[in-house]
Amino acid sequence: MAQVIAAKTRPTSAPWKRRNSRNILLVTLASVLPAAVAAAVTVLLGLDGAIGLLVLFVPLQLIASVGIGGYLFKKRGRQDAALIVFTVFFTVLVAVLLSSVLVAVFEAGLRMMRWSFISQNATYISPTTSLDYGGLGHAVLGSILVVGFTTLVTVPLGIGVAIYLTESRASGRNFIRSLIQSMSGLPSVVSGLFIYSAMIVTHWSGQSGITGSLALMPLMLPTVARVCEEALRLVPTDLRSAALGLGAPNYRMFLQVVLPAAKSGIVTAVLLGVARIIGETAPLLLTVNPSAGTNLNIFAGQIETLPTYLFGNLSLSTDYSVQRAWGAALIVLFLVLIIFTLTRAIGGNKQLKTPKKRK
């Protein structure tokens, strides 16, 4: 005779039944209450904000979340709560660090912003001269020239490497790809040392804008090549086959079909390359001789760039020069943000960039 055994309902079964209003209220409380308690205690005891956050809020939040999670869903609730708390904590930590950088630069930099700071150069300016005189106009011009020349040299090279990696069937592609990959981790100071030892110590050239440009090249090349390769890889093979099938030679196929299709990706590659090197300091410190005056000739003479201006003023470490350094940091940050926005605007369709696995 069959005996019916009533199965005991497990506490974790039917989790959807647990989404009722009481439980949702509990979860909400668990996420709000610790913050409130921690804030109150911090203010009442007059603790340091960061310490209060770390020593008080995080453990409280952890205890509350894990407690409620465990009460509602037993073991899995506890584990999930801990995972979420840690994930959010680390994310917020990174966000706080980043916004601290941005706020500090904007706060100190905006105090420095005035027309004379952008338009004038630093001739006759000593570390103690009033902030109303002198500026970094010469450094902005120098940076544009040096980075511009690097871009002129590097972009064709980078695109060439990308074409080699995507269009040709050569056997060395894997090696070149990993070489480019590891070049992207080339320490910037080594790149500066290279040009220093190859051109300046050997007296081929004095320290000038051009040596700075060349020192930036190995840093920019991998970025341009890699992003370009991604862009070319996104062009469908069918387009290429169609062009070749109609009888086009490879180079016309590339120039008239692939290149127009990958245009925005290539512009993004150039922009990202510029963003990579615009604040690069170490190679320029070794290869460029900073000046106080404006110099538009990158082939000879001293030339100032934004990063070296920042570094120089910071090294002087008087109140005024540090102020100027913050101003320069704001300008650099501003340029980076412009490039950043441009790349977002151009490469807006992010879905294209990460091909999802097709079923």
Partner 1 sequence: MPVETKPAPQRRRLTVKPTLLGDRIFFGITTGTAYFSIVLVVLVLIFLMIRAWPAFQHEGIGFITGSKWDDSVQPMIMQIFPMLYGSILLAILGVILAVPMAIALAYLIEFLAPKPIARVVTLLVDLLAALPSVVIGLWGLFVFSPVAEGWAKLLNHYLGWLPLFANTSGNFSRSPFIAGWIVAVMIVPIITSVTREIFSQMDRDLINAAKALGGSMASTFTKVILPTASGGIVGGTLLGLGRALGETVAIFFVLNLSFDINWADLTEARGGSIASMILGKLGNASDYERSGLMAAGVVLFITTLLINFLAGYIVNRAQPWRK
Q: Which of residues 136-175 bind partner 1 (CB under 8 A)?
A: 156-157, 160-161, 163-165, 167-170, 172
Taking the complex as a whole, the smallest distance from the CB of residue 3 to partner 1 amounts, in Å, to 28
Query: Is 230 a binder of partner 1 (CB under 8 A)?
Result: no
Q: Quickly tell me which residue has 């980076």 as its tokens.
A: 336
Residue 177 · residue 164 · CB < 8 Å: no
Q: Which of 282, 288, 298, 303 binds partner 1 (CB under 8 A)?
A: 282
CA-to-CA distance for 112 and 260, rounded, in angstroms?
44
Query: Is 68 a binder of partner 1 (CB under 8 A)?
Result: no
Taking the complex as a whole, the smallest distance from the CB of residue 115 to partner 1 amounts, in Å, to 23
Identity of the residue, 76 or 263, whose beta carbon is nearer to partner 1 in the bound complex: 76
Identity of the residue, 168 or 297, whose beta carbon is nearer to partner 1 in the bound complex: 168
The contact pattern for partner 1, residues 12-41, with x = CB under 8 A and - = no contact, is: ------------------------------
Residue 18 · residue 72 · CB < 8 Å: yes
**How would you class 176 by CB atoms within 10 Å of its CB: exposed for 0-12, middle for 13-18, buried for 19 or more?**
middle
Query: Is 83 a binder of partner 1 (CB under 8 A)?
Result: yes
Taking the complex as a whole, the smallest distance from the CB of residue 140 to partner 1 amounts, in Å, to 15
Q: Which of 136, 257, 266, 285 binds partner 1 (CB under 8 A)?
A: 285
Query: Is 187 a binder of partner 1 (CB under 8 A)?
Result: yes
CA-to-CA distance for 143 and 63, rounded, in angstroms?
52
Residue 131 · residue 122 · CB < 8 Å: no
Other Cβ atoms closer than 10 A to 17: 8
CA-to-CA distance for 324 and 306, rounded, in angstroms?
11
Residue 336 · residue 275 · CB < 8 Å: yes
| DSSP symbol at 8 | P
Instruction: Choose one: 27-35, 37-45, 142-150, 183-191; the region binding partner 1 (CB under 8 A).
Output: 183-191
Q: Which of 43, 101, 296, 300 binds partner 1 (CB under 8 A)?
A: 101
Structure tokens at 301: 């003479």
Query: Is 119 a binder of partner 1 (CB under 8 A)?
Result: no
CA-to-CA distance for 69 and 76, rounded, in angstroms?
8
Query: Which residues does 178 contact at the CB level (< 8 Å), separation at least 6?
Result: none
Residue 154 · residue 221 · CB < 8 Å: yes
The contact pattern for partner 1, residues 233-272, with x = CB under 8 A and - = no contact, is: ----------------xxxx-x------------------
Taking the complex as a whole, the smallest distance from the CB of residue 209 to partner 1 amounts, in Å, to 19
Question: How many residues sit close enough to partner 1 to count as binding (CB under 8 A)?
Answer: 89
Please give the angle made by the CA atoms of 327, 333 and 334, to the nearest 5 degrees.
Answer: 90
Q: Which of 42, 151, 191, 213 binds partner 1 (CB under 8 A)?
A: 191
Query: Is 72 a binder of partner 1 (CB under 8 A)?
Result: no
Of residues 288-347, those binding partner 1 (CB under 8 A): 307, 310-311, 314, 322, 325-326, 329, 332-333, 336, 339-340
Query: Is 71 a binder of partner 1 (CB under 8 A)?
Result: no
Query: Is 357 a binder of partner 1 (CB under 8 A)?
Result: yes
Query: Is 46 a binder of partner 1 (CB under 8 A)?
Result: no
CA-to-CA distance for 105 and 91, rounded, in angstroms?
21
CA-to-CA distance for 59 and 108, rounded, in angstroms?
34
